[in-house]
Structure 1
Amino acid sequence: MKLALVSDALDPTSGWGRYAGELARELIAAGIDLRLISPRLLARLADLRDYPDHAEIPSFQHGRRHPLRVLQRTLPPLLRALRGVDVIHCMVEPYAPGVALAAGRRPYLVSLVGTYSIPSGRPWMERWLLRWALRRARGLPAISGYTRRRVESDAGVRQTSVVPLAVRAEDFRRTDPPPREPGLVVSVGECKPRKGFDLALEAFARLNSEGIARRYVIVGPASPSSPYVNRLRTRIRELGLDRFVTLTGVVSEDELVDWYYRARVVTMPYRLAGSDFDGFGLVLLEANACGTPVVSARDSGAEEPVVHDENGLLVPPNDVSALTAALRTVLTDPGCWQALAAGGRRRADAMTWRRSAQQLLDVYAQSLGRRLDARV
């Protein structure tokens, strides 16, 4: 049986691109008869861009995102690209309605990656099309148990499973890493309300006044036109923390890894912001690969990579006092820090892309009633 993976740009700097790209690599390595369908020229993973059986479709992120416009742009190339394919796996939800139409009677699956999986809160046509596509799918692998529960509740679907994100821990190991910076608290990601950086800022302010936390660094895009970024900067000034808080903006992969190593703790106090949520929290696993303990929130995608008291601490969402207490523990208790650092390395070593790919093959077998055979 020939499998098609449909994705937007195969770009390791995005959650979608990393998930689709790494699983595609593992399926190819396993000998699965695979066709990639994506905006090929935008792929930043060279081995996949040059993969021989790679068909081109336009990126849904270019041009108007109205669902009918996306369908109009993507359906004709999808119909051509899916010729000779037996099973289709749509890795990014905005393509799901087009895949559902192009599939005809063929089975298809749709990955549930996060916010884009939730029909509610969208314009009525987009909401209807996404719910229709999800309900017709043979299988719905989610990146976390939290994402799975959210989509089941919102879309009324039950053919779900979990195939988590993973990490190549060896990519984060350094023979001569930068030294740890005492009292350094780091968060990673684009400045958005669902990341909870404002909660981390309030917790840092309390710990800074106690002389425990010395610096807070937010690593990632911070658009000057973002109302959330402007609120953060205003609050930093109000707290008198200009000398202690840094928003780095975009950094290179090497710089990001350096921040993971320099941090005493990485905190991501995720929260539900309207219908927006973080489906997994990959930065927590990346920090663990660098031996850095993490603090995050329950009732979020972080419950997938983080096992409380093993590789990090989990606190109730939107609870600054609980977040402050957890950060205080990690920053002041050497025994706790060492245990979480060691547990983090073990967790990162265990959550591999090969493991996730095997789970995905099991989902295919359960959804299709047979296993996909490797090419001979």
Structure 2
Amino acid sequence: MRVAVTKGTLRVPPTYFALTHAEKMSDLHQFEVFCLVADLSTDSSVPVNDYVPLRQLGFRRRELVMPGFIPSMVGGVKKFHPDIIHQHFGTWAVAAAHVAMSTRVPLVTTLHGADVFALQRPPSTAMARWHHYNVRVANKQSRKLLAVSNFLAAEAIAAGLDPRKLEVHYQGIDTDYFTPAEKVRSSELGEKPMLLFVGGLSEGKGIRDLIAASGAVNKSAPHKLVIVGDGDLRAEVRQTAAEFTHIELVGPQDKELVRDWMRRARALVVPSRMYKGAREAAGLVALEAAACGVPVVANDSGGLREMMVPGSTGLLVREGHIDDLGEAIREIIQLPAHSYAAMSSAARKFAVEERSLNVSCAELAGHYEDIRGQTL
């Protein structure tokens, strides 16, 4: 089966999922990726085609002219002669939907969150109206809509998407790559335990809450907090981190370095919260940590609780309650060795058995078979 994976933009990191599932399933089907603008920092075994030229202008400037090259992308997908088109994000789905409509090739669209939340907001700008149009076209033309969590599926139905087409398909993570450390963690060597944050430095990711909670409990539960990532709050986080000797901002890191940081961590903290009406749809970083045998402390926000087993693989706290977050940090730091070992083992087991790339790809192959040959 020939599968065209389509997307508006493809930037790796962070959107590994658009490639990893195709790479994992390449022994079953022939995949090619089609997008308007791509920026890959790593090689892929799956061919990637993008259609906005002048790469020397950089990713952001090429994004500005994306609409003008939709016809080129349509032509590229048609030339591939796919048996199935798999669109990631309902936004920028018009090229995939056009090919599906004109060729009768079945389309499946994975909803990741930004698309659904864009549809929920009033379209007050030209770009917002464009996003609304794209998501509604994807809703009409898709044989299936795959939501990355039960939380997002409910939000999609509330936004008016077709519940008859909606199914939950959890994105898998590579549990053969994200594995526990071979060496003991620093905390087991008598050093201060290290907590880790990996994500965008933004209000929605809760970085301010984490710094406040970490600072409040550091004296009674000494630890080191390492912050991996970049974003709009970079300057603020850098300044705040400089005021605390236990906080280190290391900036954006590649996939291998993120794994290295995870393997050294006592816990990953995911303090995401509602921002401008949107919440975390899933939170794959929590699964990557779990696969490394690292428990997660997370806010009960959006789909995050579906990425863990609260109390078994990590601790779930009330969204936006900094005191609760601090107490959870204290608890994970002071957890007895045998209790921590059990939580670490449960985290790895959950990731492998419930949220691995193997499990996700097996389910996705089933979805492809379901829609092959269907008619709208």
* Bin for the TM-score computed over the shorter chain: 0.7 to 0.9
The answer (yes or no) to whether the contact 1:6–1:89 under 8 Å persists in 2 is yes
Amino acid paired to 1:268:
V
Deviation of 1:257 after TM superposition, in Å, equals 2.4
SS state at 2:111 partner: coil
**d(CA) in 1 for partners of 2:73, 2:323:** 52
The answer (yes or no) to whether the contact 1:142–1:148 under 8 Å persists in 2 is yes
Post-superposition CA distance 1:229-268 (Å, at most 9, x none): 344456557xxx4212221112343432232122222110
Post-superposition CA distance 1:53-78 (Å, at most 9, x none): x6543399654657xx5332122332
Deviation of 1:317 after TM superposition, in Å, equals 0.9
Amino acid paired to 2:146:
P
Quote the residue 2:161 is aligned against.
156
**d(CA) in 2 for partners of 1:28, 1:10:** 19
Return the match for 1:365 from 357, 369, 376.
369
Quote the residue 2:75 is aligned against.
79
- CA gap of 1:70–1:115, structure 2 versus 1, over 3 A, is same
SS state at 1:88 partner: strand
Ranges of 4+ aligned residues in structure 1 off by more than 6 Å: none
TM-score computed with the length of structure 1 as normaliser: 0.83
Quote the residue 1:216 is aligned against.
225
Amino acid paired to 1:339:
A
Quote the residue 1:243 is aligned against.
245
Amino acid paired to 2:182:
T
The answer (yes or no) to whether the contact 1:169–1:289 under 8 Å persists in 2 is yes
- CA gap of 1:99–1:253, structure 2 versus 1, over 3 A, is closer
The answer (yes or no) to whether the contact 2:35–2:73 under 8 Å persists in 1 is no
Quote the residue 1:3 is aligned against.
3
Deviation of 1:33 after TM superposition, in Å, equals 4.2
Post-superposition CA distance 1:163-206 (Å, at most 9, x none): 21222223233434653343322211120111111111221122
Q: Percent identity, aligned pairs only?
A: 21
- CA gap of 1:169–1:85, structure 2 versus 1, over 3 A, is closer
Amino acid paired to 2:361:
A
The answer (yes or no) to whether the contact 1:164–1:304 under 8 Å persists in 2 is no
**d(CA) in 1 for partners of 2:36, 2:66:** 14
Quote the residue 1:172 is aligned against.
178
Long gaps (5+) in structure 2: none
Post-superposition CA distance 1:68-121 (Å, at most 9, x none): x53321223323422422321112433312221232252212111222343233
**d(CA) in 2 for partners of 1:196, 1:326:** 15
**d(CA) in 2 for partners of 1:35, 1:231:** 41
Please, what is the CA RMSD of the aligned residues? 2.8
For this pair of structures, how many residues does the alignment match?
Answer: 354
- CA gap of 1:216–1:35, structure 2 versus 1, over 3 A, is closer
Quote the residue 1:261 is aligned against.
263
Post-superposition CA distance 1:308-351 (Å, at most 9, x none): 11211111211112212222221112143222111111122222
The answer (yes or no) to whether the contact 1:11–1:45 under 8 Å persists in 2 is no
Return the match for 1:89 from 61, 86, 96.
86
SS state at 2:33 partner: strand
**d(CA) in 2 for partners of 1:8, 1:338:** 42
Return the match for 2:34 from 37, 40, 45.
37
**d(CA) in 2 for partners of 1:12, 1:293:** 26
- CA gap of 1:7–1:243, structure 2 versus 1, over 3 A, is same
The answer (yes or no) to whether the contact 2:37–2:63 under 8 Å persists in 1 is no
- CA gap of 1:296–1:85, structure 2 versus 1, over 3 A, is same
Amino acid paired to 2:114:
T
Quote the residue 2:147 is aligned against.
142
Amino acid paired to 1:98:
A
Post-superposition CA distance 1:7-41 (Å, at most 9, x none): 356655213xx111111112212x22444324697
In the alignment, does 2:322 pair up with 1:320? yes
Deviation of 1:42 after TM superposition, in Å, equals 4.1
Which residues of 2 match residues 1-376 of structure 1 at below 5 A?
2-7=2-7, 12-15=12-15, 18-29=16-27, 31-38=28-35, 42-49=39-46, 51=47, 55-58=49-52, 62-63=60-61, 65=63, 69-83=65-79, 84-105=81-102, 106=104, 107-118=106-117, 119-121=119-121, 122=123, 123=125, 124-136=128-140, 137-158=142-163, 159-173=165-179, 174-176=181-183, 179-180=186-187, 181-210=191-220, 212-222=221-231, 226=232, 228-233=233-238, 241-334=243-336, 335-350=338-353, 351-368=355-372
Amino acid paired to 2:77:
A
- CA gap of 1:289–1:129, structure 2 versus 1, over 3 A, is same
**d(CA) in 2 for partners of 1:322, 1:182:** 22
The answer (yes or no) to whether the contact 2:197–2:228 under 8 Å persists in 1 is yes
SS state at 2:120 partner: coil
